[in-house]
Amino acid sequence: NNSNRKKLTNTKNVMEEEVKETKPPSKKKRTPNNSNRKKPTPKSKRKQKPKSLSTFDYKGRLATNVSPDFRCGFVTIVGAPNMGKSTLLNALLKEDLCIATSRPQTTRHAILGILTSQKAQVCLMDTPGIISQPAYKLQHGMMEAVKNSVTTADALLVVTDVWQSSSEFMSNLDDDPLFQRVLTTNKPVIVAINKMDLSHGDDDNGHADPNKDSIAQAVSQWRRLLPNALAIVPVSAKEGPDHPNVTFLRQILLGEDVQGTYQKLQQEPQFVVVPEMFPSNDENNDDDDDDDADDDDIVR
């Protein structure tokens, strides 16, 4: 019996050892080692954030010390297709922001361009060309973009050209609902008659000689249509941002030293000035036969 008991105990011990070997080793709980952690710095030694935003100034950003007289507004550019709206926006911004091609309806959504100076900021919104009767959903969406831009704008910049300023084109505007909103709006309206370079010949020296009669006729047509327009400026956006008339239109939009700019640009041979560019305050003023308007009447 003793020998049997010894055998049973031995087998029992062997089985227990085998079970211990098959069991996975127990994972010991790790105690957090706080010796490697950084101690929090006291509030007195912490770096304080700058109270002003001067550290975030960068090139092209408005300065933080802006004058209280600083002004900002949205100007929506509207017009028929292929009038050069995108080309004019690039010329005003002095940047190639928009695609400018000879194909109509290249712009299919509103494009924002920002013109900034020391005293003002103009947010110019380029829009697709106005279509009186959209044919498919894409054109309907484009016209909705135009309507939304006109509704949210502070001022309107109507872009046309010397050919679209004919009496036939003016008669078609009576049936256009969007242009009727422009005619009846209380917002300031500026008209840019683009492509005045197409109404010229060449002088004896081979330089462009604008035909002032056709340009004056176009300005007169739009003055009858929009008698309260702030300005009707003939421009040639294709000539680039340094063209005198483009520079003059830029200063009108910014509202900065228009009279001084006008006097300086008078010395430029490419600067074109015609009567009725600005509204006349004198209702009883008789029309003069001279083509050149008086300086005070133009700058008024």
Residue 120's H or E segment, with its range, is: strand 120-126
Using the Cα atoms of residue 236, residue 241, residue 243 and residue 248 in order, give the sign of their dihedral.
positive
DSSP state of 202: E
Q: Please tell me what DSSP assigns to residue 271.
A: -
pLDDT of 189 reads: 93
DSSP state of 99: -
Range with lowest mean pLDDT among 11-25, 122-136, 284-298: 284-298
Q: In this predicted structure, what is the pLDDT of residue 36?
A: 60
Token output for 212: 């002032």
How far apart are the C-alpha atoms of 272 and 82, rounded to whole Å?
Answer: 23
**Residue spans of beta strands (DSSP E) within 135-272:** 155-161, 189-194, 200-202, 208-210, 231-234
Angstrom distance (rounded) from CA 112 to CA 143: 17
pLDDT grade for 221, boundaries at 50, 70 and 90: confident
Cα–Cα distance between 32 and 30 in angstroms, integer?
6
Q: Is the pLDDT of residue 214 over 70?
A: yes
To 5 degrees, how large is the angle CA 154–CA 92–CA 116? 65
Q: Comparing 175 with 258, which gets the higher pLDDT? A: 258
- The answer to whether the beta carbons of residues 73 and 187 sit under 8 Å apart is no
Q: Looking at per-residue confidence, does 33 or 77 come out higher?
A: 77
* Burial 135-150, CB ≥16 within 10 A → b, else e: eeeebeebbebbeebb
Which residues are CB-neighbours of 196 under 8 A, at least 6 positions away? 162, 210, 215, 234, 235, 236, 245, 272
More confident residue, 42 or 256: 256
Q: Band of the pLDDT at 16, cuts 50, 70, 90?
A: low
Determine contact, residues 183/226, Cβ cutoff 8 Å: yes
Cβ within 8 Å of residue 237, ≥6 positions away: 84, 87, 88, 90, 91, 194, 195, 243, 246
Mean pLDDT of the chain: 76
Rounded Cα gap, residues 128 and 144, in angstroms:
10
Average pLDDT over residues 61-70: 72
User: pLDDT class for 287, splitting at 50, 70, 90?
Assistant: very low
The mean-pLDDT minimum among 59-68, 128-137, 199-208 falls in 199-208
pLDDT at 281 > cutoff 50: yes
DSSP for 13-80 reads HHHHHHHHHHSPPPPPPPPP-TTSSPPPPPGGGSPPPPSSSGGG--TTSPPSS--TT-EEEEEEEE-S
Does 88 or 280 have the greater pLDDT score? 88
- Mean pLDDT across the stretch 161-169? 63
Give bridge partners of residue 113 from the DSSP assignment.
Answer: 124
What pLDDT band is residue 233 in, cutting at 50, 70 and 90? Answer: very high
With bands split at pLDDT 50, 70 and 90, how would you rate the model's confidence at 125? very high
- Position 289 pLDDT exceeds 70: no
Pick from 175, 169, 96, 88: nearest CA to 127: 88
